[in-house]
């Protein structure tokens, strides 16, 4: 059964303050996911060297990697990534930045399975302020309404919204089928459902849960969220 996941990796810095990319690799392996959206992916010059986390994670895990770099300076790249076991088609990168706030973006791709319609997967990380998220959700709503040739859409990412009655969240989830929202933050004792997997069209979320292994509790400040999915007719994708 195909598995899809979302994980804020906190630049591969764990709750113990150590930069340990190999721990993130092991957690992603534990997920056994076919598609993984990552947030807070990093590449920067440090005292102890330079590591491009996009390249490192893709090489170590054997995934196709689509980078979504929202912040570029002479010392640092920072943003999102989409890992997939299947080839990615028709990559679209969207700028969701709001003036005077940290740059943000969304990765928007089509992924063709062996059977069934292609999947449209949108991966993002929304901002910290309420007004910022409202503007980003309006932009996401517009791009989700555009045709991509896919009858099945996923939105994956850290939405920085946890209140079920939040107006921002209600404006976004109305585009998707109802699905549970497991708590993923903070990793040690998760209380808030920041990380979401949402589905629309002919696809439905099956089982969904936060991944609570001992390693996941220390590798980042967020837990990953993991879900299976199936077509609306009950058949499993391949």
pLDDT tens, 15-32? 999 999 999 999 999 999
Among residues 150, 144, 80, 81, which one has the least CA distance to residue 111? 150
Sign of CA dihedral 230, 232, 234, 235: negative
Output the six-digit token pair for 134.
Answer: 């409202």
- Mean pLDDT, rounded, for 170-193: 96
- Whether 63 has a pLDDT exceeding 70, the answer reads yes
- Whether 205 has a pLDDT exceeding 80, the answer reads yes
Length of the chain counted residue by residue: 238
The DSSP secondary-structure symbol of 87 reads: P
The pLDDT, as a whole number, for residue 173 is 93
pLDDT in tens, 104-139: 999 999 998 877 778 999 999 999 999 999 999 999
Q: What are phi and psi of 11, to 5 degrees?
A: 60, 25
Alpha carbons 130 and 61: distance in angstroms, whole number: 35
Round the average pLDDT of the chain to a whole number and report it: 92
| β pairing state of 3-8 and 64-72 | unpaired
- Mean pLDDT, rounded, for 9-20: 96
The pLDDT, as a whole number, for residue 48 is 62
* Architecture per CATH, 3-231: 4-Layer Sandwich (3.60)
Q: Please identify which residue in the block is written with the tokens 């069934």.
A: 116
């Amino acid at each position: 059964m195909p598995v899809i996941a979302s994980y804020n990796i906190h630049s591969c810095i764990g709750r113990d303050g150590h930069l340990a990319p190999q721990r993130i690799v092991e957690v992603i392996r534990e997920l056994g996911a076919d598609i993984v959206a990552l947030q807070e992916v990093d590449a920067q010059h440090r005292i102890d060297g330079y590591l491009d986390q996009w390249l490192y994670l893709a090489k170590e895990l054997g995934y196709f990697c689509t980078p979504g770099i929202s912040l570029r300076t002479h010392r640092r790249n920072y943003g999102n990534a989409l890992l997939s076991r299947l080839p990615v088609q028709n990559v679209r990168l969207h700028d969701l930045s709001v003036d005077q706030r940290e740059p943000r973006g969304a990765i928007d791709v089509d992924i063709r399975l062996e059977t069934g319609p292609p999947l449209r997967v949108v991966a993002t990380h929304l901002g910290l302020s309420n007004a910022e998220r409202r503007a980003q959700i309006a932009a996401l709503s517009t791009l989700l309404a555009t045709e991509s040739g896919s009858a099945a859409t996923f939105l994956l990412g850290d939405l920085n919204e946890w209140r079920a009655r939040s107006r921002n969240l209600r404006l976004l989830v109305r585009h998707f089928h109802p699905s549970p929202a497991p708590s993923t933050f903070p990793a040690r004792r998760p209380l808030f459902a920041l990380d979401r997997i949402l589905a629309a069209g002919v696809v439905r979320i099956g089982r969904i849960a936060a991944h609570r292994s001992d390693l996941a509790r220390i590798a980042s400040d967020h837990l990953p969220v993991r879900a299976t999915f199936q077509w609306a007719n009950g058949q499993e994708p391949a």
